[in-house]
Amino acid sequence: MAYVIAEPCIGTKDTACVDACPVDCIHPKKDEEKFGSEEMLFIDPVECIDCGACVPVCPVSAIFAADDLPDKWADFTQKNAVFFGR
């Protein structure tokens, strides 16, 4: 079960989660070309090791375990996967 970044990240893009991730599965990073054009960050569902290190550092509570993602944001599971071509 991977983690998912949902709607609260839109417009925020705080990268504390990027720094907390031990496997580098949250993108785009500030130094990546897509950072300026994307409205939020995304978690790679294949690379995520389900550690949860990103959850407590998110200032807008946008990160959820896939099984705990609120129904109103269910489409964000697919949005995260699509960003990585999954």
What secondary structure does DSSP assign to 4-66, as a single string? EE-GGGTTT--THHHHH-TT--EE--TTSGGGTT-SS-EE-TTT-----TTTTT-TT--EEEG
CATH code for residues 3-83: 3.30.70.20
Reported as a pLDDT band with limits 50, 70 and 90, residue 58 is very high
What percent of the chain is modeled with pLDDT above 90?
Answer: 98
What is the tens place of the pLDDT at every residue in 26-44? Answer: 999 999 999 999 999 999 9
The answer to whether residue 79 scores a pLDDT higher than 80 is yes
Q: pTM value?
A: 0.95
